Amino acid sequence: MERATGIRAGIQQGSLLVGGPIGGILVAGFGATNALWLDAASFLVSAALVATIVPRARREAEVEAPGRYFAELAEGMRFIWNQRVLRAIVLTVLITNLLDAPFPIVMSVFARDEFGSAADLGLMYGVFGGFALAGALAFSAFGHRLPRRLTFVCCFVVVPIFYLAMATLPSLPVALAALAASGLAAGPINPLLATVQYELVPTRLRGRVFGAVKAGAWAAIPAGVLLGGVLVQTIGLAATFLGIGVCYLAVTVYGFFNPAFREMDRE
C-alpha cells in the first residue's frame, strides 16, 4: 500500500514539477491571459483522454442499494468521529491547509517584488514539485520499513522551515534551497496518510469516509486564501511569512505529543 500511494502522490507532484516552470515561461512569454487559455485547453485534452482511454473500474464487491445522500454522509462522519486517529488527522490537516492556503498568493507577491519575473515563480514551483516528487517516490520505496508516526511528524515539522526562511525575503538560491527542503519533507505526508486511511476504512465506506475527510481537510482553504491576501496587504510579505511559519511550527511540533498519532503505527 505504501508503494501504491507513494507512486500516486509522485504523479501529482511530478505534474507540479513540469507544470510550474511551463506556466512561468508561458506567462513571461505570452502573457497571463494567453497562458490561461492554454491551461483551459489542457483540461479539455484531459477530459478527452479520460473519456476515450481510461477503462471502467471493475467492481469486485457487491454493489449496495443507493441510500439517501445525507444519511450516507452522516455515516461517514460518524466513522471518522469514532476513529481517534482519523479525527486527529482531519483536525491537523484542516489547520495546516488553512496556513498553506495563502502559499500561491505570498509566493506570487514575493516573485513580483523581489525578482519581477513569472519565470522565477515557475522555477520555484518546479523545485518544490521536483523535491516533493523525490520524497513521495522515496516513501514508495522505503515507507513500508519506516515507523509511521515518527516519519509523519518528522516530515511535517520540516515543512514550516520554508516559511521561516522566506520571512527573511531571501535571494533566489536561498529560496530554492528552502523550497527543496520543504518539498522533500512534504512528499511522504499525503501517501502516508492515504495508507493509514485505506487500512482503517472498510471498502464499503471508503467513498463516503474519504469524501468527508477531504471536505473536512479542505474546509478552511477558502478562508486561508482570503486571509493571506488581507495579511500581505496589511502587515507585509515578511511578517505574513513569519506568522504562517510560527503557527505552522506550533501545530506540527504538537504532533510529537498527540497520543492519537500513535495509532498510525501497525499493531
Which domain CATH number covers 131? 1.20.1250.20
Domain of residue 74 covers 2-55+67-264
Whether residue 183 lies inside any domain: the answer is yes
For residue 65, what pLDDT is reported? Answer: 64
For residue 14, what pLDDT is reported? Answer: 83
For residue 63, what pLDDT is reported? Answer: 60
| Number of structural domains the chain divides into | 1
For residue 60, what pLDDT is reported? Answer: 58
Output the CA angle 100-103-108, nearest 5 degrees: 175
Whether residue 61 lies inside any domain: the answer is no
Whether residue 238 lies inside any domain: the answer is yes
Whole-angstrom distance, CA of residue 35 vs CA of residue 38: 5
Whole-angstrom distance, CA of residue 149 vs CA of residue 255: 9
For residue 267, what pLDDT is reported? Answer: 59
Query: CB of 248 within 8 A of CB of 163?
Result: yes
Whether residue 49 lies inside any domain: the answer is yes
| pTM for the structure as a whole | 0.82
Whether residue 62 lies inside any domain: the answer is no
Amino acid at 109: V
Residues 219, 220, 223, 228, CA torsion sign: negative
Instruction: Give the mean pLDDT per block of 10 residues along the chain (267 residues).
Output: 88 84 87 91 93 80 68 86 92 93 91 86 90 92 90 95 93 94 93 91 88 87 91 93 95 94 83
For residue 61, what pLDDT is reported? Answer: 56
Q: What are phi and psi of 219, to 5 degrees?
A: -60, -30
